[in-house]
Amino acid sequence: MTDEMNRSAFDKLVAGMDAVERSDMLEKINQSAVSVVQLVETEELYPEKNVSLHIRFKGESALYRFFLWLRSLLEKKDPEKIYNEDVLASMARRINRDHPGILNHKNGLIDSVFYEHLRSLRSSAEFFKPYFNIIDENPGDFYVFLSSFVTPELSDIITAEADPFSLSFDTEPDLATKNRLLKNLDSILNNIDGAAKSNLYSAVSSLNWLRQFTRLPYIHFTSQFTNLTGNHYTCPYRNAVNDFSSFAAVFSNVMSVQNEVLEAMLMFSQRKEITKNAQDKDIERTIKEFIAKANQCFGIIQMFISNVPIIKVGKIINADYDWLPGNIDGVEGWFPNFRSHWRKIIDVRWADWLRERKKKNLETYLKNDFELSEFPVMKYRPWQALWMRVPFACELTGGFLSWFCENEYEDMMPYLNDVMMEGVFIRNENRIEYSEGLNLFAQAMSQMQELLDRLAPEGEYGAQFEEFATSRLRSFQVQNQIDSMMTTTETEIRECVKKFGKGARMIDKCLSGVLSEERDKVHDGLQNINVIKGHNNRVWKDSLRTCWETLKKAVFYLSELEPIDAATEQ
């Protein structure tokens, strides 16, 4: 695996696409989209946000406090309770003056304008909610994905110091080596640069704010409103207290959602499609539509923030000047999830490195066994000409079997057929087993050749792939046809490998009885082994022995390559 391929594979685990694809998509987002609306908390920092009622009461004039004392005698209430009511009533009058339609304090009602705001906010929340449904399935995965936008240098450091592919293939793959990499990872994550960590935390916090916004109890809150006259909806203070507290916690802790967060949300949900076709115009249109809709939603949110003094309204409906909203939760657990998913990535990369190391070690013997410097690929791979990346789950087994079919099979069959046609087996059951094995072996090679013919440029599949590549037609129907051809190709290769392995092992056992000096109790030789081909018997036996050795080597390599292919598919 080259450094470039290795880096690309690492990027795909981190971000679902390689660095070039991610860079292209970010450039498209930045070119296609207008600036994201920035949310700004507009409620002024009135003293009521920081000063208790008791301290404010003591700051009032002596005359006013005396007047409150007289009222307390008549109303039989504590003077501070009466003062609380006066302050809240004054606050409600200011709200009615500056933001009419929010409150009807005289009747203890939240008014219809607030209701309309709730309905608009709900539509905005519904837009973002599906993205969080995807994110919340695996938050750690998303946090790592987000970091590739906010702190791309972090993955570069991890690649250099904690990625198993930073090791030489000569390194002993023991537990101590893997633990050293994980220790390096922990050290990197625990010592993230101050500015980078701040940027990442800010991005995660803004993401969490938006998540909490989508989770607010819109349906329950709006159901508390009734329309006694026409379309005029109102809600008694007492019915709004619990739901309003949830809203106040979110809207009194407003955070602007960064561009990178929105980009990551979109691309995380689209990364499979983007990976298939990073140049697709449909993706560009999706980006434009997403940012435009997000801006529309943020405009609605900002309108609510600007027109509803959330803390003052909360004090009024709770009838308590000292009431303050709570804080939003949820951001505290991001880093353990972040670390945990990075460790999963290193685990996956460790398994990949072990497979690649095994493959490299096999290549060392491949030169001696078959005079090949690397594992062959299939003669025809027409899917590589397509505009999108098409995964192929039988790269190694298909490639080796394809090569064997074209370079070894024809030379071997005459000698293997001679045993069947001219050999007299001492044991009849060995003849039956050999015949069955030879048939399976031949079927596997015939099936592989037929598959190669279909994949050839003039073949059924090859011509269809060429048509798709030339027309660059993109639709679900085309995608389904491509998927179907790839599935059929992979299924047939697996069937060929299965037949080849079973047939070759049966032939191997029978030939071991014919050619080996050490025989088991089941397989015996040929009665006429020394007379087949007459004067050319010695040459024939040497050639048969070569075929036998080649067959055993082929079975060995396929058995080693099959789990590598299977693991790569996962």
Per-residue pLDDT of the chain (570 residues; tens, 9 = 90+): 556 566 666 666 776 666 666 666 666 656 655 555 667 666 554 455 567 766 776 777 778 777 777 777 777 777 778 888 888 999 999 999 999 999 999 999 999 999 999 999 999 999 999 999 999 999 999 999 999 888 888 988 998 999 999 999 889 999 999 999 999 999 999 999 889 999 999 999 999 999 999 999 999 999 999 987 778 999 999 999 999 999 999 998 898 888 889 988 988 888 766 544 445 566 677 777 888 899 999 999 999 999 999 999 999 999 999 898 988 877 778 999 999 999 999 998 998 899 889 888 888 889 899 999 899 999 999 998 887 778 899 999 999 999 999 999 999 999 999 999 999 999 999 999 999 999 999 999 999 999 999 999 999 999 999 988 887 666 778 888 899 999 999 999 999 999 999 999 999 999 999 998 887 889 999 999 999 999 999 999 999 999 999 999 999 999 999 988 887 655
Report whether 305 contacts 251 (CB < 8 A): yes
Spatial strand order in the sheet of 232-236:
103-104, 109-110, 232-236, 226-229
What per-residue confidence (pLDDT) applies to 285?
Answer: 75
- Of 123, 163, 157, nearest in space to 13 by CA: 163
The overall longest dimension of the chain from CA atoms, in Å, is 135
Q: Is 431 exposed, middle or buried (0-12, 13-18, 19+ CB in 10 A)?
A: middle
pLDDT of residue 569: 57
Given a contact cutoff of 8 angstroms between Cβ atoms, the answer to whether 338 and 144 are in contact is: yes
Q: What angle, 0 to 180 degrees and rounded to 10, lies between the N-to-C axes of helices 537-569 and 334-370?
A: 170
- Cβ neighbors of 463 (< 8 A, separation 6 or more) are 457
Rounded-to-integer distance, Cα 110 and Cα 237, Å = 6
State how far the Cα of 81 lies from the Cα of 338, in Å rounded to an integer: 49
Task: Provide the pLDDT for residue 87.
Answer: 86
Give CA–CA dist 202/504, Å, rounded: 61
By C-alpha distance, which of 38, 50, 48 is closest to 86?
A: 48
Alpha-carbon dihedral of residues 162, 275, 356, 561, nearest 10 degrees? 150
β-bridge pairing 232-236 and 109-110:
antiparallel
CB-based burial, 440-452: b 16+ in 10 Å, e otherwise:
bbbebbebbeebb
Q: What is the pLDDT of residue 363?
A: 87
CA 290 to mean position of chain CA atoms: 20
- CB distance 285 to 227 below 8 Å: no
CA nearest 482: which of 394, 402, 391?
Answer: 391
The pTM (predicted TM-score) of the whole model is 0.76
The answer to whether the CB of 140 falls within 8 A of the CB of 181 is no
Residue that has been written with the tokens 């190694």 in this structure: 396
What are the C-alpha distances in Å from 477 to residues 465, 473, 487?
A: 14, 10, 15
